[in-house]
């Protein structure tokens, strides 16, 4: 029957009284003597080699002290029973003395090596236990972290839904008031509702990233354009495309970018494609080096004459809003007319806000 790892471990870690270990060591040395003297009597010379397994066993399973004890005991028995003159501890022949000395040296080396193996095994077992405990603690910590993250995400989703529901009620109220208002007032109310809707849609994309609430800009801008297509562009032959990288922005910065995008697309839909003209509006959001860049371009009739300069001096609440939001982001807003037609507005702002 083979000795399993568990059996070896149990023998090495066997917690028995010290006197019992001394007794067992004495017993296995005496058994080694009996095997050589009574059983294997026809074995060739060097009978003292029969004691080496007993010495190795004592050193590995009991420790260095017991290995040396087995060595001393084996040397005395060998000198008395196997080396001439038999029955006397005195050794007359030089060859016998040399054999005994070599045996003692070999046994001592076996004892040192056996006890070293024992200590290495015990240290390995201790390290494995410590590793298992550390792994268990790490698993518990990971489980707690995952649970905390799930709870934060649930709270975040609930927060987003509550805020969005409140904003949707406000939007509905503004649309209802617009129905019964003068055209100019109704237009302003609908514009305000559109801007609130931009912020409301952002709360559907809230996520917890690097310790703060953030928004995936690709998903957010896609949602924003879908809403504009539904509310404004469905009756116009204008295609709105979004080409945005999946970049994470903090909640406040994402809201500013969304409001600017909404304003630029709305202006393009209102002014760049008169008389049912077909066309395309493209929204691009990316990162270049240390800046985020939002580009809204169209292939419409271009900018009016009063807006040819790149500082956007045209009067109007929408332009004032976009300039204010760009300044809040620490960025710059530049508008240009295409060649021969179309217009492009570029918002650049730093990745790290001062």
| Whether 129 and 248 share a structural domain | no
| Whether 223 and 343 share a structural domain | yes
pLDDT at 342: 87
pLDDT at 310: 42
Residues of the chain with pLDDT under 70: 1-15, 41-47, 92, 151-161, 163-164, 166-167, 195, 198-212, 231-235, 304-317, 354
Residue 37 lies in a domain: yes
**Is 251:213 a contact under the CB 8 Å cutoff?**
yes
Strand 238-244 relative to strand 279-288, pairing? parallel
Which CATH number fits the domain that encloses residue 284? Answer: 3.30.565.10
pLDDT at 71: 92
pLDDT at 15: 67
Residue 329 lies in a domain: yes
Residue 165 lies in a domain: no
| Whether 13 and 118 share a structural domain | yes
Residue 120 lies in a domain: yes
| Whether 340 and 221 share a structural domain | yes
In degrees rounded to 5, what are phi and psi of residue 166? Answer: -65, -40
pLDDT at 305: 57
The domain boundary, picked from 119, 140, 161, lies at: 140
Computed from CA positions of residues 71, 75, 76, 81, in that sequence, does the dihedral angle turn out positive or negative?
A: positive
Q: Residue 138: is it exposed, middle or buried by C-beta count within 10 angstroms (0-12/13-18/19+)?
A: exposed
CA–CA separation, 47 and 33 (whole Å): 9
The total of structural domains in the chain comes to: 2
Residue 149 lies in a domain: no
| Whether 15 and 94 share a structural domain | yes
| Whether 225 and 327 share a structural domain | yes
| Whether 86 and 222 share a structural domain | no
Domain ranges, residue 134: 5-140
pLDDT at 211: 57
Output DSSP code: residue 332: E
| Whether 132 and 226 share a structural domain | no
pLDDT at 261: 92
pLDDT at 10: 65
The domain boundary, picked from 140, 161, 176, lies at: 140
pLDDT at 337: 85
pLDDT at 153: 66
| Whether 103 and 15 share a structural domain | yes
Residues 6+ positions from 162 with CB-CB distance below 8 Å: none
Residue 41 lies in a domain: yes
The rounded Cα 116 to chain-centroid distance in angstroms is 40
Residue 167 lies in a domain: no
pLDDT at 145: 79
| Whether 307 and 213 share a structural domain | yes
The domain boundary, picked from 102, 124, 140, lies at: 140
| Whether 115 and 213 share a structural domain | no
pLDDT at 175: 73
CA–CA separation, 288 and 221 (whole Å): 18
State pLDDT tens for residues 291-330.
999 999 999 888 765 544 443 444 466 788 889 999 999 9
| Whether 244 and 344 share a structural domain | yes
pTM, rounded to two decimals:
0.51
Residue 59 lies in a domain: yes
């Amino acid at each position: 029957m083979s000795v399993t790892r568990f059996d070896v471990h149990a023998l090495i870690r066997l917690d028995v009284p010290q006197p019992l270990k001394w007794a067992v060591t004495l017993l296995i040395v005496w058994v080694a003597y009996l095997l050589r003297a009574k059983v294997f009597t026809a074995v060739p010379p060097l009978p003292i080699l029969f004691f080496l397994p007993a010495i190795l066993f004592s050193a590995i399973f009991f420790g260095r002290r017991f290995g040396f004890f087995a060595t001393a005991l084996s040397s005395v028995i060998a000198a008395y029973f196997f080396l001439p003159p038999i029955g006397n501890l005195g050794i007359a022949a030089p060859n016998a003395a040399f054999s005994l000395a070599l045996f003692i040296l070999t046994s001592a080396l076996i004892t040192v090596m056996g006890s070293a193996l024992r200590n290495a095994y015990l240290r390995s077992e201790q390290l494995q236990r410590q590793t298992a405990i550390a792994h268990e603690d790490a698993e518990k910590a990971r489980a707690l972290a995952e649970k905390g993250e799930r709870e934060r995400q649930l709270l975040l989703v609930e927060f987003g839904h509550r805020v969005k529901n409140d904003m949707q009620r406000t939007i509905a109220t503004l649309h209802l008031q617009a129905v019964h208002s003068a055209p100019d007032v109704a237009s302003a109310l609908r514009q305000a509702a559109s801007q609130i809707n931009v912020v409301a849609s952002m709360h559907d994309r809230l996520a917890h990233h690097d310790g703060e609430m953030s928004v995936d800009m690709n998903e957010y801008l896609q949602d924003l354009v879908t809403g504009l297509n539904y509310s404004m562009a469905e009756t116009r032959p204008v295609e709105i495309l979004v080409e945005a990288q999946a970049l994470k922005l903090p909640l406040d910065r994402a809201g500013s970018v969304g409001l600017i995008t909404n304003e630029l697309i709305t202006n393009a839909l209102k002014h760049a494609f008169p008389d049912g003209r077909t066309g395309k509006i493209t929204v691009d959001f990316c990162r270049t080096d240390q800046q985020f860049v939002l580009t809204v371009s169209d292939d419409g009739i271009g900018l009016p004459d009063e807006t040819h300069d790149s500082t956007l001096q045209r009067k109007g609440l929408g332009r004032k809003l976009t300039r204010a939001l760009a300044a809040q982001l620490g960025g710059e807003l530049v508008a240009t007319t295409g060649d021969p037609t179309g217009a492009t507005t570029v918002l650049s702002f730093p990745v790290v806000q001062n």
